[in-house]
Amino acid sequence: MFCKDTGVARKRSEASNQASNGKAERMHRTVMNMVRCMIFACGLPLRFCGDAVQYAAYILNRAPTNGNPGRASPLKVLTKQTPQLGKIVVFGSLYTVHRDPINKNFSQRAQQGMIVGIGEEVKGYRVYLPKDKKVVTSQHVRNIETLSKTRNLQMQKLYRDEDESEPEEESGERDSGAADQSSTGKESDTKGRGKGRKMSSNKKKAWRRERHVTRSVARTAGAEMTEAAQQNTTSGNVGSSVLERDPRNYKETMRSRQKIAWLKAIGEELKALESNGVWEVVRLPKNVRVLHTKWVFKTKLDAEGLIERLKARLVACGNEQTFGVNYSVTFAAVIYMTSVKLILALARKWRVPAKHGDVPNAYVKEDKEEDLRIYIRVPQGMKIPEEILKELGVETDTEEALELKKALYGLKQADSGASCCTQSLWNLVSTRASWMCACTTGTQQDAVDVFFEELKSLEIKDLGCAHKFLDMRIEYSDDYGYDLDQEVTIDELLQAYGLEKAHAVRVPIGEDWNAAQDASTELLPANGAAGAATVTTFQSLVGSLLWIARCTRPDIAFAVHKATRRTHAPTVADWKLAQRVLRYFAGTKSLKLRMMGDGGVDRPLDVVGYSDADYAADRANRKSTTEGLVTVDGMAVSWICKKQGGVSLSTMEDEYTAASVVAQELLGVRELLGEMKVSHEVHMRLCVDNQIALEQLGGEQSSGNAKHIDVRIKFVGDYMRHDVLRAEYLETKEMPADVLTKVVNAPRMLELQARIGLH
């Protein structure tokens, strides 16, 4: 009637002809793909497909769409308002929900369930309670977490046994009950209330059978978890069978299945601190601010990713310190990764394997500032003998405290104290010239052993040949030298972001990145649900990528540089680029940075710097990008990829600016080699692929096109005239720094990886 009154002609599609309604069918396929993924990932029975369809539609209505202007979501186009995404969580996430205490005074106030949607008419999440076998809507949802693989398998077994123990008629009735929560709630209330009511014999049997199945599944799951834990203890394979994460605090440790092992680690830490005289038990003076402490727990892994030991560290809450009251100096020297790789390069050249040492409790070796008095609370797990408390006149726990005599982890001045302690001991050792010269040249293995012997005052542990350092796995062979990789770290990163099974890509950044960046203006939200992409999540990811790029993977340096340009306000395109780097890792995580070397023991070191630039690479401000690579005897020890400070007016200018930056890096390597008393070539080569810039480097005059960068010209030219640097031309196709400069295709990427030593 409506069509007749309004003049609308109605036509029906041909039966079994999906092509005639392509848009609807494609959307139906998209929804069903999401439903299958959600159901299979969380392990819920197929009777929850209806809830999964509703939740998939809820997400799609709020997701950015390429078909809309500015990739706006359908809901934003309809309402002209940006939808709130904070309530979106992973379908099937575990949670705890408040229970109604009516007529159940001694029952638990919360129970565990799984989220299966968001309420449409009532505010809150639609949650399934496995114990009560009903779906309810509640706002009192806490502790949402994504279902782990272990729990996933257990839940699947629970539901499978549950389905097998129920008749098909009951399953059909429960299907309708899951879709209509009000009727299910009433039905459940009817069963649970009424003290004088009795169950029928059939219901009693079903109820007992149900409890028997649930208990048997629980016992089976517990046995499986215990067996997995035993296998984990035996093999130590964290990547495949770890069942729980590291405890976040002392209370979680007491509830952990590895409670005894963690308590042993706590005892070892307290014993080490007391043996070093870190504190003294005192009665807390009046009007004195006392610092709290915190336990940090970590499962230490070896180079293969296997469990090595459980480590507990007591740290002070340095955020409670006040400048001038309990700290004054905070500066501390940190290691430069170029120095680490340079030491390995020298070890390879001299054919002397590098040794690895560890200083236990290094931070507590140095006394704190004498004029500062720092008090901390007695840490959890530490008991002070009663006789000491009586001697001090302490009557309550609030009166007992520890006065620090040395720096403790977490204090703002702890880094500075440890650095000063190391420097003073190094000066003490270096005065013994009888063996120090041999140690710095590194041509004798005995000198390295003597060095460890001389540092016994630090109780240094001789860990033998270096095999793991700062999350880098180190392998050595006489034929190929050192191989450095971070495969274990990459695996952990892929698992943390759910991309361990993602389809790998062949290059870390695609040629269409600039177009995607220009089209994307949507910013990542500051807050979001668990597992959602937020600013904090992005910053954590790119921080990890920066560390990997700096240590062993120069092939991702350019992509990571592009992804980290707006860490304070990242866009969706930046997030996708960071994820693409992870997908690139999925296929190349086993790549190793090989430090083989091409020079003999008696030959002087050949230090070469490769300079390149990408002219006006940033489309927003047209600033160029500087890239550089430094090798020692053909072994890559340093690489640079950063945006230039000013806008270059020509390719010659940006190439020259890049050359001056790489020259600074070369001079830094030269200075470090000089401190080691290592002989090297008089000329350090600087390779440039721009002939005009090369002519400017060699000429003494300053042309009009380069007068505004005259200082950089004089800086490089001065070292060239003093025979410190020698500039050379290198064709672009031979330039190894090209991998740091621009987007390259897959064949070129493989070629450049081989040139910089990635195998």
List, as one string, the DSSP characters of 191-230. HH--TT----HHHHHHHHHHHHHHHHHHHHHHHHHHHHHH
4 in a structural domain: no
- pLDDT of 493 reads 94
Confidence at 504, pLDDT banded by 50, 70, 90 = very high
Confidence at 719, pLDDT banded by 50, 70, 90 = confident
The predicted-structure confidence for 288-311, as pLDDT tens digits, reads as follows: 889 999 999 999 887 777 788 899
Average pLDDT of 95-122? 69
Burial of 308 per CB tally in 10 Å (0-12, 13-18, 19+)? middle
- pLDDT of 200 reads 43
State the DSSP string of 550-610: HHT-GGGHHHHHHHTTTTTS-BHHHHHHHHHHHHHHHHHTT--EEE--SS-SSSPB-EEEE
480 in a structural domain: no
- pLDDT of 170 reads 36
11 in a structural domain: no
State the Cα–Cα distance between residues 201 and 604, nearest whole angstrom: 93
- pLDDT of 304 reads 73
Structural domains in the chain (count): 4
556 with 607, same domain?
A: no
Which of 34-38, 233-237, 260-264, 383-387 has the highest mean predicted lDDT (pLDDT)?
260-264
- pLDDT of 433 reads 31
Residue 62 exposure: Cα atoms within 13 Å on the Cβ side: 13
The per-residue pLDDT of the chain, averaged, comes to 76
Confidence at 714, pLDDT banded by 50, 70, 90 = confident
Average pLDDT of 418-425? 50
276 with 347, same domain?
A: yes
- pLDDT of 407 reads 81
Percent of the chain with pLDDT over 90: 27
Average pLDDT of 644-666? 89
586 with 609, same domain?
A: no
* Cα-based distances in Å from 191 to 43, 183, 195, 445: 27, 13, 10, 80
Confidence at 700, pLDDT banded by 50, 70, 90 = low
Kindly tell me the sign of the dihedral angle through the C-alpha atoms of 97, 98, 103, 106: positive
- pLDDT of 178 reads 37
Does the pLDDT of residue 106 top 50, yes or no?
yes
- pLDDT of 705 reads 57
- pLDDT of 223 reads 39
- pTM assigned to the model: 0.63
453 in a structural domain: yes
Structure token pair of residue 346: 């020298």
96 in a structural domain: yes
Contact 568, 734 (CB under 8 A): no
3-state secondary structure of 88: coil
Does the pLDDT of residue 334 top 90, yes or no?
no
- pLDDT of 221 reads 33
Average pLDDT of 674-688? 77
Lowest-confidence pick of 1-5, 87-91, 338-342, 437-441: 437-441
Which one, of 556, 552, 610, 605, lies nearest residue 759 by Cα?
552
Which of 29-43, 167-181, 216-230, 488-502 has the highest mean predicted lDDT (pLDDT)?
488-502
Average pLDDT of 664-672? 91
- pLDDT of 303 reads 72
Q: Which residue has the higher pLDDT, 432 or 141?
A: 141
Does the pLDDT of residue 419 top 70, yes or no?
no
Average pLDDT of 609-625? 89
Lowest-confidence pick of 2-16, 259-273, 638-652: 2-16
Average pLDDT of 112-127? 80
Percent of the chain with pLDDT over 70: 72
State the Cα–Cα distance between residues 634 and 598, nearest whole angstrom: 6
Last residue of a domain, one of 591, 625, 651: 591
- pLDDT of 295 reads 95
587 in a structural domain: yes
695: domain CATH number is: 3.30.420.10
* Cα-based distances in Å from 468 to 317, 456, 594, 645: 29, 22, 15, 37
504 in a structural domain: yes
388 with 495, same domain?
A: no
604 with 742, same domain?
A: yes
453 with 543, same domain?
A: no
Domain that holds residue 334: 250-469
The predicted-structure confidence for 559-606, as pLDDT tens digits, reads as follows: 999 999 888 889 988 999 999 999 999 999 999 999 998 777 778 888
SS (H, E, C) 495-516: HHCCCCCCCCCCCCCCCCHHHH
Which of 150-159, 414-423, 563-572, 674-683 has the highest mean predicted lDDT (pLDDT)?
563-572
Does the pLDDT of residue 556 top 90, yes or no?
yes
351 with 368, same domain?
A: yes
Does the pLDDT of residue 313 top 50, yes or no?
yes
- pLDDT of 424 reads 43
Does the pLDDT of residue 168 top 60, yes or no?
no
Cβ neighbours of residue 115 closer than 8 Å, sequence gap 6 or more: 89, 90, 91, 92, 93, 95, 125, 126, 127, 128, 141, 144
Measured between alpha carbons, how far apart are the two ends of the chain, in Å? 73
661 with 583, same domain?
A: no
Average pLDDT of 667-674? 89
Q: Which residue has the higher pLDDT, 711 or 688?
A: 688
State the DSSP string of 130-179: TTTTEEEEES-EEEEEPPPHHHHHHHHHHHHHHHHHS-HHHHHHHHHHHH
511 with 642, same domain?
A: no
Confidence at 375, pLDDT banded by 50, 70, 90 = very high
579 with 639, same domain?
A: no
233 in a structural domain: no
- pLDDT of 212 reads 36
3-state secondary structure of 259: helix
The predicted-structure confidence for 21-61, as pLDDT tens digits, reads as follows: 777 888 888 889 998 988 888 878 888 888 889 889 988 88
- pLDDT of 518 reads 65
- pLDDT of 171 reads 36
- pLDDT of 203 reads 39
State the Cα–Cα distance between residues 683 and 695, nearest whole angstrom: 18
- pLDDT of 162 reads 41
519 with 616, same domain?
A: no
Strands (E), 425-478: 461-465, 468-469, 472-477
Does the pLDDT of residue 679 top 70, yes or no?
no
Last residue of a domain, one of 426, 442, 469: 469
Length of the chain: 759
Structure token pair of residue 451: 């060095």
Last residue of a domain, one of 192, 210, 228: 210
Which of 233-242, 368-377, 421-430 has the highest mean predicted lDDT (pLDDT)?
368-377
State the Cα–Cα distance between residues 289 and 373, nearest whole angstrom: 10
584 with 615, same domain?
A: no
Does the pLDDT of residue 213 top 50, yes or no?
no
